[in-house]
Homo-oligomer: A and B are copies of this chain.
Amino acid sequence: MKVAVLGAKGRMGAEAVAAINSATDLTLSAALDLGDSLDQLVSTGTEVIVDFTTPDSVMKNLEFAINNDIHVVVGTTGFDDKKLEQLKSLLSNHPKVGALIAPNFGLGAVLMMQFSQTAAKYFESAEIVEMHHANKVDAPSGTAIRTAQMITDARKQSKKSAMPDATKSELPGARGGKVGDVPVHSIRSHGYVAHQEVIFGDAGETLTIRHDSINRAGFMPGVLIGVRNVAKHPGLTVGLENYMGGM
């Protein structure tokens, strides 16, 4: 399969180029960056593009690709409802083209969220501890917030009653926050990259799901799953988990 990378000089794009070069079933047809002509996608017979560019340029890239019947795997951030609608409209004229928008390509993170959604149905309590480097400006992390929302939804569907919590006296100042039903605890320290632990508890037992991500290489197996499966999923798909069957 012929695959081009857009944003090939960026940090994620460069990793994607390396990952495609290492995969024996994939051929890198083009590695484009700012200013390069998109026409190369057509002349090289590219079948799938991987886009790690910027919120400003991504829509132009996707329009070109879809109009030329090239599948798109997108890690660029900033997809709001408006952009998703534009994308659906583009795709409606090319019903065989697949488009994957993935907020997180980390397989481990995606699995952690899926497993948490399932476990939430069976345990009384759920809390999240997430650990990130000290330069992170937001707490809780985006992944923690999304996990907490998924757990909250699953609890609602299972008609869970409120989590047991006898706390009467407390102190101020804990970093984190309560998201839906779920207390999230945010640790910030040098020596961490991106880590999260989801803890489920019930009488006599706890189940803990932990993901540790220490560099960008960890996202590439997820990008490759996207590349290899996008042609089998025509239309718009949001979230890599939709390509990961049987969970």
Query: What residues make up the interface of A, taking CB atoms closer than 8 Å to B?
Result: 106-108, 111-112, 114-115, 118-119, 121-125, 127, 129, 131, 134-140, 163-179, 183-193, 199-221, 225, 244, 246-247
Contact = CB atoms under 8 A, between A and B. Distances in A.
Protomer copies = 4
Nearest to A215: B204
B191 A125 contact: yes
A127 B204 contact: no
Contacts of A190: 124-125, 164, 201-204
A175 B167 contact: yes
Nearest to A145: B171
B172 A177 contact: yes
A217 B204 contact: yes
B183 A202 contact: no
A220 to B, nearest CB: 7
A244 B219 CA distance: 31
Contact of A175 (B118, B174, B188): B174
